[in-house]
Amino acid sequence: MQFRSALTASYGTGVRDAQREVSIEDHIRVGSVTKTWTTTAILQMVQEGRLSLDDPVSRHRPDVPNGDNITIDQLLTMRSGLYNYTETLDLNSAMDTDPQRVWQPDELLALAYRHPPYFAPGQGFHYSNTSTVC
């Protein structure tokens, strides 16, 4: 026997000490929480045998600079060396002038790829949003 159920609810306020409670129609920015979701999906594919953490990134994204030497594991553990697109002046200036702009993944990657890597793959650690957009 299979049971299905769903719960739709909202709790609290969107702003500390605000009077208006959030509703299920409100939108929130989830930000970096998506990195754990992405990692979970990738690990499920590893478990299914669809890819390996040791795969070079170039096997799945041939356009990644130095992708033959960067592994999926290095992307997920922030050890790829790829430049973080959120640290670019271009992105930050654009966000100041048009904060509602919707960026496409390839646009963000292009911003990052204009900059040299921080270090060779596996030779350091640097938090990089680029790693989960690849």
103 Cβ neighbours under 8 A, 6+ residues apart: 91
Sequence ranges of the domains in the chain: 33-133
At 108, the amino acid letter reads: L
Q: What is the pLDDT along the chain (134 residues), one digit of tens a residue?
A: 566 777 788 888 878 888 888 888 888 777 888 899 899 999 999 999 999 999 999 999 999 999 999 999 999 999 999 999 999 999 999 999 999 999 999 999 999 999 999 999 999 999 999 999 98
Separation of CA 47 from chain center? 21
Return phi, psi of residue 44, to 5°.
Answer: -65, -40
CA atoms of 64 and 106, how far apart (whole Å): 11
The single residue of 32, 58, 80, 128 carrying the catalytic annotation is: 32
Is 32 catalytic? The answer is: yes
At 85, the amino acid letter reads: Y
pTM of the model: 0.79
